[in-house]
């Protein structure tokens, strides 16, 4: 029966492939969809996708992509899908858009007591950063931002579509590097930073990977699991210190978060469980809470949240609970447009 739900993998030679997964909940091993985009020597892209039954009871990411327990009913398990991928991807360079997908595959292998594939992984985020440095601090290099900047057409949070988008990002970046002028009048130091060889197959700067803050595309939930409406935990006023240091104080409603998500004052004292924070960007963030400072421990995404919403000192941020261990933050800027009109 499984073979009826597992499509045949594309045959032929590929320059590289891009892989994306969606998960059912905060457990990175709860993979419920896998997409692989295969880039042929003629630059055409053929996409392969399968749903995966993660065999879990908790589905909390349906609001992101709509996959549910019903969607994956009868689909193969990860243990049944992995042999197909092992055979198909051997010897190929595999791109992921940030490092979440690699860690999810590893987690799923551990859950199934399977050896982790020895694949050659690369990060298309790093490729995008080299090709379009102007996006740093101006929308960033997530798929949502690149979709707008490059005019890509795809349905975000679908594994097949996201894999294809990541492959297209790599191809566009390659063309962008070819089109760049060979010489410029910038300083020698700056030139040294930006004229490194652009090698699709050798872009392995892992030091910049955002493994711990990549968002999860996840499977659907049942109606009963998502029956609750968003519950407002509270609002917090943003200070200039918050803007300067990329954090959001949660002091006035900190006790509303589950105790097992609250850790100590440093990463060695992290909580045993993480929450998921949907901030309106390319992907949700998984983090625990700093119990001493009373804010989200992982903060790399907060500057992008501030910039994306033009948050200024004095603006408010609303925090909502949208599912167990899953939250959403919404910027509530002051009515500056009205104030400006009144003063003009």
- What pLDDT digit, counting tens, does each position of 240-258 carry? 999 999 999 999 999 999 9
As a whole number, mean pLDDT of residues 309-335 equals 88
Tokens of 210: 């955002």
Higher pLDDT, 72 or 227: 72
Per-residue pLDDT, averaged over 79-84, amounts to 96
Decide if pLDDT at 177 tops 80: no
Give the per-residue pLDDT at 74.
Answer: 93
Q: Where are the domains of the chain?
A: 2-213, 231-332
Q: Which of 10-24, 98-112, 129-143 has the lowest mean pLDDT?
A: 129-143
Say how far apart CA 310 and CA 312 lie, in whole Å: 6
Q: Which residue has the higher pLDDT, 301 or 154?
A: 301
Contact between 43 and 172 under an 8 Å Cβ cutoff? The reply is: no
Residue 148 is predicted with a pLDDT of 82
Compare 344 and 52 and report the one with higher pLDDT.
52
Q: Report the C-alpha dihedral over residues 124, 129, 132, 133, rounded to 10 degrees.
A: 180
Q: How confident is the model at residue 178 (pLDDT cuts 50, 70, 90)?
A: low
The pLDDT, as a whole number, for residue 87 is: 94
Whether pLDDT at 321 is above 60: yes
pLDDT of 341 over the 70 cut? no
- Indicate if the pLDDT at residue 199 is higher than 60: no
CATH architecture under which domain 231-332 falls: Beta Barrel (2.40)
On the question of pLDDT at 157 being above 60, the answer is yes
Closest residue by Cα to residue 138 from 304, 285, 279: 304
Q: Which residue has the higher pLDDT, 146 or 190?
A: 146
User: Which sign does the torsion angle of CA 218, 219, 224, 226 carry?
Assistant: positive
Q: Residue 88 pLDDT more than 60?
A: yes
Does pLDDT of 155 surpass 70?
A: yes
Q: Which is the CATH superfamily of the domain at 2-213?
A: Ribonuclease H-like superfamily/Ribonuclease H (3.30.420.10)
- For the chain, give the mean pLDDT: 80
Residue 197 confidence (pLDDT): 29
Q: Is the pLDDT of residue 187 over 50?
A: no
pLDDT grade, residue 215 (50/70/90)? Answer: very low
pLDDT at 4: 59
pLDDT interval class at 286 (50, 70, 90): confident
Residue 227 has pLDDT above 50, yes or no: no
């Amino acid at each position: 029966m499984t073979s009826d739900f597992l499509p045949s993998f594309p045959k032929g030679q590929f320059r590289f492939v891009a892989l994306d997964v969606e998960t059912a909940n905060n457990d990175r091993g709860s993979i419920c969809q896998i997409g692989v985009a295969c880039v042929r020597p003629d630059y055409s892209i053929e996409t392969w996708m399968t749903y995966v039954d993660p065999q879990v009871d908790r589905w909390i990411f349906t609001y992101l992509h709509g996959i549910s327990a019903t969607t994956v009913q009868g689909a193969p398990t990860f243990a049944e899908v992995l042999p197909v991928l092992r055979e198909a991807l051997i010897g190929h360079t595999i791109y992921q858009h940030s490092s979440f997908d690699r860690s999810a595959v590893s987690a799923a292998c551990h859950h199934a007591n399977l050896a982790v594939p020895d694949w050659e992984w690369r990060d298309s985020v790093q490729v995008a950063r080299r090709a379009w440095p102007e996006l740093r601090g101006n929308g960033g290099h997530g798929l949502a931002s690149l979709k707008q900047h490059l005019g890509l057409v795809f349905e975000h949070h679908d594994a097949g579509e996201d894999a294809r988008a990541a492959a297209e990002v790599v191809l566009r970046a390659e063309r962008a590097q070819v089109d760049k002028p060979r010489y410029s009048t910038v300083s020698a130091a700056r030139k040294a930073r930006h004229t490194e060889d652009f090698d699709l197959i050798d872009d392995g700067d892992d030091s910049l990977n955002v493994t711990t803050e990549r968002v999860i595309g996840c499977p659907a939930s049942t109606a009963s699991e998502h029956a609750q409406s968003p519950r407002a935990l509270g609002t917090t006023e943003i200070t200039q210190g918050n803007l300067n240091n990329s954090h959001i104080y949660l002091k006035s409603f900190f006790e509303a978060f589950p105790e097992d998500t609250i850790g100590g004052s440093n990463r060695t004292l992290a909580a045993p469980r993480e929450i998921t924070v949907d901030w309106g960007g390319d992907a949700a963030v998984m983090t625990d809470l700093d119990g001493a400072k009373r804010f989200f421990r992982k903060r790399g995404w907060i500057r992008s949240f501030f910039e994306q919403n033009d948050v200024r000192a004095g603006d408010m941020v609303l925090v909502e609970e949208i599912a167990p261990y899953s939250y959403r933050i919404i910027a509530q800027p002051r009515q500056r447009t009205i104030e400006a009109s009144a003063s003009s």
